[in-house]
Structures are given as C-alpha cells and as structure tokens.
Amino acid sequence: MSQSSAAYPSAVPVGVDTTRASIARVYDAALNGKDNYEVDREVLAQVRTVAPQVNDLAWANRDFLIRACRFLARAGVDQFLDLGSGLPTAENTHQVVQRVNPQSRVVYVDNDPSVLVHAQALLASNTRTRIAEADIFRPFEVLNNATVRNELDFSRPLALFHIGTLHHYLGEDAAALMQTYIDALPAGSFVAIAHFHDPETAEYSELARNMEDKFIHSPMGSGRFRTRAEIQAMFGKLEMVEPGLVRCDDWWPDGPHLLPLSDVRNCIIGGIGRKP
C-alpha cells in the first residue's frame, strides 16, 4: 500500500454500496446530511416532483424523535431500544436522553453498513450506548441479540422506538410484528412510533399516494403511507400517552406553530403508548 493511500483512506466505508440507494442515506440527504450519494439524492429528486417539500417529512419525524426522547427521559425511563437508528445527522437519541439522565442506556439497532460504521466511531468512548446489527423487522432476531440482552434489563421498564422505520416494512402484518415486541416488554414500558400517513382526506390523500408511488418505485423501494387505523393497530392495547396518535408536529410541540405546516407534514403521524 502506498503511503498516500494509507494517509488518505477512501471516504466510502468498506461494505457501503454507493450504486444502490439506502434508506438511511436517503433520510440523511433529506436532513441535509453529508453521508449520501447521487443515487440517494435522486430518490428525493423523484419524490420532489410530486411533493416539493418532501424534506419536511424527515424533519417532522426527527423532531418528533427528539421530543419523544426528552419526554420519556424526563418521565424517568433510563433504557432505550432504538430500532433503525439512522446516520448521526441530527441530534441522536443517546445525546438527548443522556443530557437528561447521564446514566441512561441506549442500544441502537440497524443493518445499514454506513450506519454501523458511523455509530461504532461515534460511540467508541460512550460506555452506556451500543449499536447492534440486526433486522428490525425480525423481532426475535432483535430480542435475542446478545448486545440487546446484555445492555438492557428486560425486568425494568424501557422505551422501544420504531420511529421512521415501519413504513419501510412492506408486509401486511406490521401490527403482529409490533405485538411480538410489545409482548416482550415489561409493564410500565413505552413504545414510540412515527409512520408515513395517508390522511384519507380529499386534501392530502392524493399527495400521500403520489409520494408512496415515487418511493416504492424508486431504487430505495419502500415507503408505505398507511392509514390511521393501520398505524394505531401497531400499538396493540397500549395506553396512548396524550395527545395520542397525531401529526408528528402536533405531538408535544416545543411551542405554537409560527408558520403554516407544509402539506407533507399532514402525511406523517406519531405517538407513544404505555404498557400497563
């Protein structure tokens, strides 16, 4: 190996395929991150032809995640299982919850090589935060993962996040998938979900359908806009924390909306349920 190649390693981490769009990198591009490639940005360009404000979907989702972290950490939850962590573009779960309680433990789970490489580097010196590699749509694979089991105490309440993830699951049994997770949680645990939404209104349904069509037929291949009933079913019999399952922007907002919400912000909803 020449000296120059050792001194200037490739910017593309080993195992990252820059010819295929990845969910994590498309999301990173929507959040104005730097860990994405032309193939990822092209997915957003296609969706932008029907939804010019498509980046707002990602921001509504990420801002919901941050508020959910703050809410749950302040409510005393100190263990977090964050499924589908994404790239460290914006503020991350561990940063928010460990600011409230430095003792909080966080386990991220993802299967994207870019995410795993970045997380390992970012978390190298954080003894209370780990990343596990598993398929988040295979609950038993996650629940039996050694890192998940070693780091989290399943005899005490924890928070499980499926935020900005389940719309990438194209099966019809998302509620059953979530029920497997819910069954494994101890009483007093919380589940937070944010999901692309078809509002079933004359005003926004067509927008949702058009975005879904673009996402699913793009090289990323996923992005389902489910109905409110379908998304609510993913919480099973959990007790919904106020204000329930609402537009992400309306869930414990940091203040009044100073500007009108863009149309796409009607197409993503989120909520938190508690296991009694």
Nearer to ligand SAM, 69 or 152 (CB): 69
* Contacts of ligand SAM in 229-248 (CB under 6 A): none
With contacts defined by CB under 6 A, name the span among 61-69, 116-124, 176-184, 240-248 that binds ligand SAM: 61-69
Binding of residue 131 to ligand SAM (CB under 6 A): no
Q: How far is the CB of 130 from ligand SAM (least distance, A)?
A: 15
Judge if the upstream peptide bond of residue 243 is cis by omega within 30 degrees of 0.
Answer: yes
Q: How far is the CB of 131 from ligand SAM (least distance, A)?
A: 11
* Contacts of ligand SAM in 3-32 (CB under 6 A): 23-24, 27
Q: How far is the CB of 46 from ligand SAM (least distance, A)?
A: 17
Among 76, 77, 106, 79, residue whose Cα is nearest residue 91: 106
- Tokens 């389902």, residue located: 224
Q: Which of 40, 63, 78, 112 binds ligand SAM (CB under 6 A)?
A: 112
The secondary structure of the chain as a DSSP string is --HHHHHS--SS-TT--TTS--HHHHHHHHTT-SS--HHHHHHHHHHHTT-TTTHHHHHHHHHHHHHHHHHHHHTT--EEEEES---TTS--HHHHHHHH-TT-EEEEEE--HHHHHHHHHHHTT-TTEEEEE--TT-HHHHHT-HHHHHHS-TTS--EEEEES-GGG--SS-HHHHHHHHHHHSPTT-EEEEEEEB---STTTHHHHHHHHHHHHTSTT-----B-HHHHHHTTTTPEEPTT-SEEGGGSS-SS--SSPPPGGGGGEEEEEEE--
- The site for ligand SAM, by CB under 6 A, has a size of 20
Binding of residue 55 to ligand SAM (CB under 6 A): no
Binding of residue 251 to ligand SAM (CB under 6 A): no
Binding of residue 115 to ligand SAM (CB under 6 A): yes
Binding of residue 61 to ligand SAM (CB under 6 A): yes
Q: How far is the CB of 213 from ligand SAM (least distance, A)?
A: 18
Q: How far is the CB of 147 from ligand SAM (least distance, A)?
A: 14
With contacts defined by CB under 6 A, name the span among 60-68, 119-127, 150-158, 249-257 that binds ligand SAM: 60-68
Phi-psi region of 123 (alpha: psi -120 to 50; beta: other; left: phi over 0): alpha
With contacts defined by CB under 6 A, name the span among 1-9, 12-20, 95-103, 105-113 that binds ligand SAM: 105-113
* Contacts of ligand SAM in 141-180 (CB under 6 A): 163-165, 168
- Please give the residue ranges that form the binding site for ligand SAM (CB under 6 A): 23-24, 27, 61-62, 65, 84-86, 110-112, 115, 135-137, 163-165, 168
